[in-house]
Chain A
Amino acid sequence: MQQLIYFFQKFKHFLFFLLLQLIALTLTFNNLNFHKSKYVNSANAITGGMYNQVSSISDYFDLKKTNTALLEDNTRLRNLLQQKTAMSFASDSIVIDTVKYHQKYTFSNAKIINNNYVNAFNFLTIDKGRNDGLEKEMAVVNGKGVIGITDNASSNYTRVQSILNKNSRLNARLKNGYFGTLKWNGLDYNVVQLTDIPRQAPVKIGDTIETGGKSTIFPEGILIGTVIEINNDNAVDNAINVKLFNDMSNIGPVYVIKNLEKKEIQFLENPINE
């Protein structure tokens, strides 16, 4: 017993050090799992509030750019609207039928108050939270393309796992329908990798990549980027380098997309409680 007390006396600093290191390592490992890091993240009231304060100042310097981006987004949407009306003129009358009307997604707006893009596991913070109806696993996009997936929501702030995160997996497809998985290798924040595309798929440099809609998170057809490099060697994953439309180092206002049918789909896919 005396030996034991002597041992603790002698190594008390080292044991304390080990204990703290263990806590730090546990937090690190938890952080790498999707929505497992409940406590240490920037979406809590203190850090979120401070980031909000700082970004409300720095936003003034980006107002011009933000305005241009919103204008571009509006132009694109107005053009889409024109196409829609042109198509409905093809039939001689419009039938308004509430049974056929079926909304699948709702969009809400938010603002990025903290942006990371140089690490291998990047996260963003946005200024809306559970009070605004946000929860985990919702899509975050802007006018130019995808940004990430919500991860942890506090009452007023939400953490977003950026697509520039080595853990991110996204269903993406070529415009001609061949689909694969979008990942990031942690190197260049402008370039992501599209993997698992079938070898027979005709891919050319300059092809557009968009979301595939084969998940409950992202709607179909949201822009991602263009192909800039095709690997012709026999790698297993057949990775294609894709340059993002978004400049991830400079993003401000975003849209958060909620899938209204998510619960129904998940219930069908995982028939538990049997």
Chain B
Amino acid sequence: MNKTIYFGLLFVFLVFLQVFVLNNMLFLGYVNPYLYIIFVFLYPLKKSRFTFLLLSFLLGLSIDFFSDSGGIHAFSILTIAYLRLFFIKVFFRKYEIDYPFFSLNLEPFGKSFNYVVTLTVIHHFILFSLINFSFQNISHVILNTLYSSVFTLVLYFLSVYIFSKKQ
């Protein structure tokens, strides 16, 4: 399939999935997964990052529109979208030459696990700090980050396991 159409559909699918399904999960009363960040993991690496940053920002903003949260999701997903290249350098030792051939599924599980967990935890921590928006209830923020990260990661790895093509 054409890459542009594929990522366009993925964008719309992730917004609807997050807003109409995942935001209503409320596991144990308040734990929600934030699976829309897999956009950052799936989008191909390129040298010019303007489209990618703009799309991530718009994805976060669309979810903000639905959940009445100002620019909180936009801020947190944009942060991990910008930090992505740095962590790819750290965990996979890939440089600009390797970008066109890079795919998360082809990398060893341990490395991609570290990469995904780091970005997810950073995203969730920023997200919950901004949702709380004060220095009170820090324990609340950390607990929420922990629970939601586990939830998101379980869903992410399950979906990777289900949708990956077995050669």
Tell me the A residues contacting B by CB distance below 8 Å: 13-14, 16-17, 20-21, 23-32, 37, 40-42, 44, 46-47, 50-51, 54, 114, 116, 118-123, 125, 159, 166, 186-187
CB distance from B161 to the nearest CB of A (A): 29
Chain B at the A interface: SS class: helix
Instruction: Identify A42's interface contact among B29, B65, B72, CB under 8 A.
Output: B65
Mark the stretch among B73-81, B87-95, B101-109, B116-124 that contacts chain A. Answer: B73-81
Q: Which residues of B contact A42 (CB under 8 A)?
A: 65-68
Residue of A nearest to B50 (CB): A16
**Minimum distance in angstroms from A27 CB to a CB of chain B:** 3
In the complex, what residues of A have CB within 8 A of residue B142's CB?
none
Q: Is the CB of B60 within 8 A of A24?
A: yes
* Contact indicator A37/B70 (Cβ below 8 Å): yes
A24 close to B71 (CB less than 8 A):
yes
B137 part of interface (Cβ distance < 8 Å)? yes
**Residue from B32, B68, B75, B134 in contact with A41 in the complex, judged by beta carbons closer than 8 Å:** B68
A186 & B137 in contact (Cβ 8 Å cutoff): yes
A20 CB contact (under 8 Å) in B32, B57, B65, B133: B57
Contact present for A31 and B26 (CB under 8 Å): no
Contact of A32 among B32, B67, B133, B137 (CB under 8 A): B133
Contacts of A118 in B (CB 8 A): 26, 29-30, 32
Say whether, besides A28-B130, A120-B132, A187-B140, A20 and B68 are in contact (CB < 8 Å). Answer: no
